[in-house]
Amino acid sequence: MKPINDGHVAEPGLAVVEVAAADDETAFAVQELLATRWAIAPADRTTHEPGEPGVRLRCYLDMQQQPEA
pLDDT in tens, 12-34: 989 999 999 999 999 999 999 99
**What pTM value is reported for the model?**
0.81
Q: What is the pLDDT at residue 21?
A: 97
Is residue 17 within 8 Å of residue 61, measured between CB atoms? yes
Q: Is 25 exposed, middle or buried (0-12, 13-18, 19+ CB in 10 A)?
A: exposed
Angle at alpha carbon of residue 16, lines to 27 and 18, rounded to 5°: 30
Is residue 60 within 8 Å of residue 14, measured between CB atoms? yes
Cα torsion angle, 34, 42, 48, 25, sign: positive
Looking at every residue in the chain, the average pLDDT score rounds to 89
Assign 1 a pLDDT band (cuts: 50, 70, 90).
low
